[in-house]
Amino acid sequence: MTLLEDLRTKIKYYPLYGLLIHSLTRIGIMIRPFQVMSCCLKRYEKIKPAFQSSEYTIQFADTLDVDELVKFRKTPGGKKSILQQFAMGNRCLVARLENTIIAAIWCEFNRCSFAGYQFSLKKNEVNAYEIFVDPVFRGNSIAAILMNKLYHNLKMEDYDFCYHIAIQYNRPSQHFMEKLQIQVVDSGILLGLVNNFFFSKPVNSNRLNRMRALLNSGNNEGCLK
């Protein structure tokens, strides 16, 4: 990607303040305003993809796919990081086209975390993170198809809530999250220097617990209608 193409992409995907924050990252200053969102799987209705295709194969990856996952996306920490995620019990759902990974999303079942921000998950909750689609295939509804499959699988395994953490200035991410019929359950900001975050807004436990109480009482008001 040329410098001009990179600039056009950033202008397309980020508002002005997002571009400023992104620029600060280049000199080691990290600012990440974020929102914690939750989807009630009981009420979730499938996203209708703009494009329908039977060409994609969607399945969970395993440790045999580590090298392919490393090649697919330059993950910080590389192969070691991916193996650690599998060792922690995390799972990775991937979409393949002609046996090549073109999209992936990770799930964790013990905690919802984002750098220094984290809280423990209940047994009926899961956190979905790091959804990524190969830039060549963006705009083909692959993210929607992948998310529909993920939510379907989670519902079949008796999970009730799926959390997502989204950077607020990432327009595509915010727009996609809106399609998922989700609600904001917390928000915050991370600050740091050279990838070392030294400040994170504490979890709003009261807000999270109110939502959980609605679900545990059998009252679905905690889910979007």
Average pLDDT over residues 80-89: 94
- 166: confidence class by pLDDT, cuts 50, 70, 90: confident
- pLDDT for the residue 187: 84
Predicted confidence (pLDDT) at residue 29 exceeds the cutoff of 60: yes
The pLDDT tens digits of the residues spanning 99-126 come to 899 999 999 999 998 877 889 999 999 9
Predicted confidence (pLDDT) at residue 159 exceeds the cutoff of 90: yes
- pLDDT for the residue 150: 94
Residue ranges with strand state E in the chain:
29-40, 56-60, 91-97, 100-108, 111-114, 117-120, 125-133, 161-167, 182-193, 196-200
On average, the pLDDT of the chain sits at: 80
CA distance 118 to 124: 17
Give me the domain span that covers residue 131: 3-222
Find out whether 72 and 134 touch, Cβ atoms under 8 Å.
Answer: yes
Number of structural domains found in the chain = 1
Predicted confidence (pLDDT) at residue 32 exceeds the cutoff of 70: yes
Average pLDDT over residues 83-112: 95
pTM of the prediction? 0.79
Domain CATH number, residue 54: 3.40.630.30
Q: Is 185 exposed, middle or buried (0-12, 13-18, 19+ CB in 10 A)?
A: buried
Q: Which residue has the higher pLDDT, 39 or 181?
A: 39
